[in-house]
Structure 1
């Protein structure tokens, strides 16, 4: 346990705890016909059962596996993440402590331009050499802007501002930190959406890291999900 994958420039995902495994899913499925005792007797049979369950959307047995992750990510990533109501979250509060000066600056090659076919997406393929040069300059300007915001934040705190108000000058690319718990069924639903190529890059890389970590606990289930995509 306690496996960690670094993500973006300052972020990470760590698998803190888990309950259950592929065997738990097989056992939960087999109990419906009073044959839970068969789980684990025939690995091939369990694998076929799990693949059948996911392919045919008999998904409740996948709730027998649970994960707790520790995540460090930009605030704007968490705001997308929190739309997934099946997670349980406990996040760092800037009301209780001063935030460290850590913020996300995108790789200039990952910025691109606003997509003309999607209101919510970027277009990386349209990034020619001229645009890339401009993005490098603009990323540097973004970094300077964030440094100035943190300088003001610290000044306000030093002048006695309450933390709950001083934090309002910080940008949404500031890093936050949370513990998040979910069962495997709903994790796979999250991965369906956030591993999709249309998902925003900055949350997609976190989803891909969780996919790798979940595989260490339930490799057959993850393989079944991948095969059905």
Structure 2
């Protein structure tokens, strides 16, 4: 007999991004760059105000001397739909660890686009826009996704109750289910990610990311901007191109 749908089924239209730990500051860029001319004396930069060397950071960004931006580290906790993670993992400069459906019973948290999510694609790939859907389209998306999620999770529970292994039972679950991961990167890698996964009018090269991964990118960028404000400023000033 099928099990009843659990009361804890949750539908969300947002994402969670938290900065778990970091070793990242504008000073990291400066001492890494200064070693080429100052050698061991570059260590003195660690204790100096990086504002004094704002011009150096700007120069490095402008002329795309990228390696000094690699001497930082940030680890983010991300809770988002699985389809976001699959796009995320195309960026091979991150280190990832994700929760496993082989080793734990997966929680029924599912993504449903919110009312502000644009639904209709107009134009050809590479040159298109998304526009708002009608109330009827939003109603259809909400009802169809929620019903599909309920059916899929009910089938998952039926198999678990029948003694089927978690790694087999999970095959019916959709990519709209939420997962959790840790993602670690340096500032240069993060800038590359942001250049592709945010859409900005001031970017030198246009990008057309899926809105859901852009939501993650926006939250990551806000956290990074607090850690490395001079680097973030230079990134924006030079067209949001990773050095």
User: Structure 1 length as normaliser, TM-score?
Assistant: 0.88
| 1:219 alignment partner in structure 2 | 229
| 2:26 alignment partner in structure 1 | 22
C-alpha RMSD over aligned residues: 1.9
What is the number of equivalent residue pairs in this alignment? 218
Q: 1:77 to 1:69 in 2, by over 3 A?
A: same
Pick from 121, 132, 147 the counterpart of residue 144 of structure 1. Answer: 147
How far apart, in 1, do the equivalents of 2:128 and 2:52 lie?
A: 43
How far apart, in 2, do the equivalents of 1:119 and 1:48 lie?
A: 36
Contact kept, 8 Å, 2:15 with 2:215, in 1: the verdict is no
Contact kept, 8 Å, 2:51 with 2:230, in 1: the verdict is no
How far apart, in 1, do the equivalents of 2:32 and 2:190 lie?
A: 18
Q: 1:215 to 1:109 in 2, by over 3 A?
A: closer
Superposed CA deviations along residues 92-151 of structure 1, whole A, max 9, x for unmatched, are 0000001000010001441421332227966215x4xxx332322331221121111111
Unmatched segments (≥5 aa) in structure 1? 1-7
What aligned pairs does 1:1-229 form with structure 2 within 5 A after superposition?
A: 9=13, 11-34=15-38, 35-37=41-43, 39=45, 41=48, 43-118=50-125, 123-124=130-131, 127=133, 131-196=134-199, 198-229=208-239
1:10 CA displacement: 5.2
| 2:5 alignment partner in structure 1 | none
1:219 CA displacement: 1.1
User: Structure 2 length as normaliser, TM-score?
Assistant: 0.83
Q: What secondary structure sits across from 1:103 in the alignment?
A: strand
How far apart, in 2, do the equivalents of 1:119 and 1:23 lie?
A: 38
How far apart, in 1, do the equivalents of 2:227 and 2:131 lie?
A: 34
Q: 1:20 to 1:101 in 2, by over 3 A?
A: same
How far apart, in 2, do the equivalents of 1:156 and 1:124 lie?
A: 40
Unmatched segments (≥5 aa) in structure 2? 1-11, 201-207
Q: 1:42 to 1:144 in 2, by over 3 A?
A: closer
How far apart, in 1, do the equivalents of 2:123 and 2:48 lie?
A: 55
